A and B are shown apart, each in its own frame.
Chain A
Amino acid sequence: MIRETVALTRRELLRLARNPQAIATSLLLPILYLLLFGQAFNFGNLFDGNSAAFVPFVRGAPNYFSYFAAGMAGFVAVTATLFIGANVIFDRLFGVLKRISSTPASSTSIFGARLIAGCIQPIGLAFLVLGLAAALGHLGLSGLQVTATFGVVAAVQVVLAIVILSVMFASLFLAIGFSIEQPQTYFAVVNAINLPVLLTSAALYPWGILPAWFKGVASYNPITLAVEVIRLDLFSAAPQYYPYSAWVYLLGLLGWAVAMNLIAALLARRALGPRH
């Protein structure tokens, strides 16, 4: 099973590497968000330059850009997984999936390889966003300020948050890809899911200005769970604004990921097994 998984993962990565336009396009979105939206949308200015007064609204982050940058890491980890299911549909349309599923390779290998390869890009992008956001501060622009002592545990938690979030959404979109035959339908369904999930998260909105009902919804959103882990680890004042530790948020996120992964694996198995 390992040989098959490695071979299929290699295939996915070769295809990704041979599509530089796709990589460039995926980089464009976070860079534009950081350079334009993040720079222009400075909520702190509403407080007559007293950014400290704004700190409770961004749950302990030193400014909105830092709060926003952590949210963007989660945001791109999701958007970069959007097309992973479309590749399944195209592979089915062009006969490649038929060829692969005619071999003894297990559905676990076929699904697992897509998941592994599909998560590499979003994870890379999420860390690129954090790095770029920090670098902007050294270029005279608003930048990500890490105010907490960032140790090994914090680093592990941030990595876990991004990895688990990517796995969860890659699983979701793979589940859709294995269940739908037409690319048009796939994109319609993905759009119908993607936007509401992003907009009901606390990735971009300052938490303090959200109505109570929205906070209730956003608290359970997997993107919120991931970005709250990042914010807890990056900002020293953050813990006083969060009711739980980063591990609890990670546990919640893991629950989402496991559930979604199980559903996707089941749907992949059904799609790749003998037809009835």
Chain B
Amino acid sequence: MSTPNAGTGAIVADQLVKTFNGTVQAVRGVSFAVRPGEIYGFLGPNGAGKTTTVSMLTAGLEATSGNASVDGIDVRRDPSAVKRRIGIVFQESTADNDLTGRENLELAAALYGVGRSEARKRVDDLLERMQIGDAADRLTKTYSGGMRRRLELAGGIVHSPRVLFLDEPTLGLDPQGRAGFWKYVLELRHEHELTVFVTTHYLDEADGMCDRIAIIDHGRIVATGTPSELKDHLGGDIVTVRPTASSPNLAEILEQVPGVTSVGQQDGTFRLKCANGEALVPAVVAACVRAGVGLQGVSLKRPSLDEVFLEFTGREFREDEGPTATDRAVRVGQVRSAFGGRR
């Protein structure tokens, strides 16, 4: 991957490295450039380095080496200027439970230096737009999960940032809540030409909302491109063959089937790439029968980001590795319960 030049994008990461305690390499030389006005998705399994990268880009974490700039400002040299230009929506709720929705937004506006009268106008506008106007003067501890997420989004944009970072913004929301959240993001992006950098666990979100995507695994970017480009990279449909018993020659047999462009193998399962999966399935079954290989199942998948993810990382897109965002959210929930839901 070529190293991006500073100034070529709203967000530029150049060989970013983060090593914790001198031993744990969370991010290992990540480079990319996000264009102004773009929605850029950052995908990866848990522990891949997504949140660490976001923290470095938003001046919350010092990079071990490498450079980053946001809206043309060097993050290391002028973190305060970067913070003024960006908005962040964290994966966990960061609103103060003992304040109302309105007070939370007014506080956020003041911390970004927005004048009182301007802040009042923006807060009123955002509360209405996010459909929490009726609950504006209620304590946020009474808000539903969806309302809290919308309040978080409002807090991230109350100062009209140039770049918006969304770190797992829809984690824990139901499909309706996720759709509503993204509706507001797309509206804001359209109106304010926001650049949006989003990490998400929901591949369908990334597929539908992002202009471009980077896949990060073990601290390295393994693929970048538009969702279409990444799916095209798969070279068509995927046919998965699961034999009843291990068969040492099966890969060679399957390679001989007309139409198969490549054969991959993982945990005894064979993944065949082909242009037309529907037409290939009968030929694959016939080839196995001829070779005396029993079949547990054969399945066909159209190209999706799940397949792209599997292709580049060699793993299913799972949430069962490492300390996860979900783990953290659960821990926060446990702490809340331990203290009776109050601070």
Cβ-based interface call for A275 (8 A): yes
Residue of B with least CB distance to A1: B113
- Cα distance A102–B79 when bound, in Å? 10
Q: State whether A87 touches B94 (Cβ < 8 A).
A: no
Given contacts A15-B99, A274-B60, A274-B62, contact A95 B111 (CB under 8 A): no
Across the interface, do B110 and A7 meet the contact criterion of CB distance under 8 Å? Answer: yes
Given contacts A104-B80, A104-B83, A104-B84, is CB(A274)–CB(B94) below 8 Å?
Answer: no
Chain B nearest CB, measured from A45 CB (Å): 46
Q: How far is the CA of A3 from the CA of B108 in the complex (A)?
A: 11
B110 touches A3 (CB 8 A): yes
Residues of B with C-beta under 8 A to A87: 343
The reply to whether B94 and A98 contact each other, CB–CB distance below 8 Å, is yes
Residues 81-137 of B at the A interface (beta carbon under 8 Å) = 83-84, 88, 90, 92-99, 103, 106-108, 110-113
| Inter-chain contact B103/A104, CB cutoff 8 Å | no
- Which residues from A are CB-within-8-Å of B88? 102
Q: Does B283 touch A at the CB level, under 8 Å?
A: no
Give A230-276 interface residues, CB cut-off 8 Å to B: 274-276
Alpha-carbon distance between A93 and B97 when the two chains are bound, in angstroms: 13
Q: Compute how far the CA of A100 lies from the CA of B55 in the bound complex, rounded to whole angstroms.
A: 14
Chain B residues whose C-beta falls within 8 Å of the C-beta of A138 in the assembled complex: none
| A12 to B: closest C-beta gap in Å | 10
Known contacts A14-B99, A93-B335; decide if A275 and B60 are in contact (CB<8 Å).
Answer: yes
Complex CA–CA separation, A87 to B98 (angstroms): 12
Residue of B nearest to A16 (CB): B98
Give Cα A7–Cα B111 distance, bound, in whole angstroms: 7
Closest to B55 in A: A275
B59 at interface by CB-CB < 8 Å: yes
Task: Tell me how far the C-beta of B311 lies from the nearest C-beta in chain A, rounded to whole angstroms.
Answer: 34
Residues of B contacting A8 in the complex (Cβ-Cβ under 8 angstroms) = 107, 111
B343 and A102: CB pair below 8 A? Answer: no
Give Cα A196–Cα B7 distance, bound, in whole angstroms: 58
CB distance from B64 to the nearest CB of A (A): 9
CB-CB under 8 A from A3, the residues of chain B are: 110, 113
* Alpha-carbon distance between A94 and B95 when the two chains are bound, in angstroms: 9
A11 to B105, CA, bound (A): 12
Chain B 235-266 interface mask (CB, 8 Å, partner A; 1/0):
00000000000000000000000000000000
The answer on a CB contact under 8 Å between A94 and B98 is no
Q: A95 to B90, Cβ gap below 8 A?
A: yes
Question: In the bound complex, do residue A96 and residue B96 qualify as a contact, i.e. CB atoms below 8 Å apart?
Answer: yes
Query: With A11-B99, A99-B155, A276-B62 in contact, is A94–B343 under 8 Å at CB?
Result: yes
Query: Which residues of A sit under 8 angstroms from B103, Cβ to Cβ?
Result: 11, 14
Given known A3-B110, A11-B96, A104-B113, contact A99–B339 (CB-CB < 8 A):
no
Q: Considering residues A3, A94, A98, A105, which has the most beta carbons from chain B within 10 angstroms of its beta carbon?
A: A94
Nearest CB in chain A to that of B86: its residue = A102
For residue B108, which residues in chain A have a CB less than 8 angstroms away from its CB? 99, 103
Smallest Cβ distance from B309 to chain A, in angstroms? 28
A133 to B80, CA, bound (A): 50
CA distance A99 to B60 in the complex (A): 10
B332 within 8 A of A: yes
Which B residues are in CB contact (< 8 Å) with A103? 83, 108, 111-112
Q: Which of A10, A19, A90, A274 contacts B339 (CB 8 A)?
A: A90
Chain A residues positioned under 8 Å from B61 (CB to CB): 274-276
Report chain A residues within 8 Å CB of B84. 104
A39 CB–B CB distance under 8 Å: no
B84: nearest chain-A partner, CB-CB: A104
Count residues of chain A with CB under 8 A from any CB of chain B: 30
Whether A101 sits at the interface, judged by CB under 8 Å, is: yes
A101/B62 contact (C-beta < 8 A), A15-B99, A96-B94 known:
no
Q: Are B111 and A104 in contact (CB under 8 A)?
A: yes
Q: In the complex, A215 Cα to B98 Cα: how many Å?
A: 45
Q: Mark B153-185, 1 if CB is under 8 A from A, else 0.
A: 001000000000000000000000000000000
Determine whether B190 belongs to the interface, using a CB cutoff of 8 Å to chain A: no
Contact among A15, A94, A106 with B336 in the assembled complex (CB-CB below 8 Å): A94
Contact A101 B60 (CB under 8 A): yes
Given the complex, which residues of B lie within 8 Å of A10, measured CB to CB?
107
For the complex, what is the distance from the CA of A104 to the CA of B112, rounded to whole Å? 6
Give the residue of B60, B95, B113, B343 whose beta carbon is less than 8 angstroms from that of A90: B343
Closest Cβ of chain A: how far from B182's Cβ, in Å? 22
**Pair B83/A94 contact, Cβ less than 8 Å:** no
Nearest-CB residue, chain B, relative to A4: B111
Chain A residues whose C-beta falls within 8 Å of the C-beta of B67 in the assembled complex: none
Q: Hey, which bits of chain A sit against chain B, CB under 8 A?
A: 3-4, 6-8, 10-11, 14-15, 18-19, 87, 90-91, 93-96, 98-106, 274-276
A-B interface, 8 closest residue pairs, ranked by CB to CB distance from nearest: A7-B110, A99-B94, A95-B94, A103-B111, A90-B343, A104-B83, A105-B111, A15-B98
16 more CB-based (< 8 A) A-B contacts, given A11-B103, A96-B343: A3-B110, A4-B110, A7-B111, A14-B103, A15-B96, A90-B339, A94-B94, A95-B94, A98-B60, A98-B90, A99-B90, A102-B88, A102-B90, A106-B80, A274-B79, A276-B62
Binding site for A on B (CB under 8 A): 55, 58-62, 79-80, 83-84, 88, 90, 92-99, 103, 106-108, 110-113, 139, 155, 332, 335-336, 339, 343
Contact sample, A vs B, 5 pairs, CB 8 Å cutoff: A7-B107, A11-B96, A94-B335, A95-B332, A102-B88
